[in-house]
Amino acid sequence: DSGVTQTPKHLITATGQRVTLRCSPRSGDLSVYWYQQSLDQGLQFLIQYYNGEERAKGNILERFSAQQFPDLHSELNLSSLELGDSALYFCASSGDRGRPSTDTQYFGPGTRLTVL
């Protein structure tokens, strides 16, 4: 158990819909990262938040957005869903204890999103 929690575990929805995925980082970790794992794209970095602020952006679609709240949990919002958005969405957290390049990311169990 990494200490990172994600809900829900599974989500099935229809095209055009909007969903919210939730992540709680390890206790004390300030950074939260979102990754998408799909069969054709592999594991891709989406976005990072640090202490409530967006820090880095990867291959995140405009239909997707995220935020990190004062209690440090994060939500990933996916809207206007398409079949191709079906994937496993992982959240990771790290401590950023003054040495950001050497902080290890710990991953949550993921949310499996199926768009029908």
90 binds another protein (CB under 8 A): yes
Gap between the Cα atoms of 26 and 63, Å rounded: 27
Q: Which two tokens stand for residue 3?
A: 């200490």
What distances in angstroms separate CA 81 from CA 12, 25, 86, one per listed residue? 11, 26, 9
Residue with tokens 């990190």, as numbered in its chain:
68
Asked if 2 interacts with another protein (CB under 8 A), we say yes
Segment contacting another protein (CB under 8 A): 22-30, 61-69, 75-83, 86-94?
Answer: 86-94
Q: How far is CA 4 from CA 54, 91, 105, 106, in A?
A: 19, 8, 10, 7
Contact flag: residue 45 with another protein (CB under 8 A): yes
Q: Candidates 22-30, 37-45, 64-72, 77-85 — which segment interacts with another protein by CB under 8 A? A: 37-45
If you compute the radius of gyration of the chain from its CA atoms, what whole number of angstroms results? 13
Among 55, 61, 75, 79, binds another protein (CB under 8 A): 55
Q: Which is nearer to another protein, 62 or 99 (CB)?
A: 99
Residues that bind another protein (CB under 8 A): 2, 31, 33, 35, 42-45, 48, 55-56, 58, 90, 92, 94, 100-110
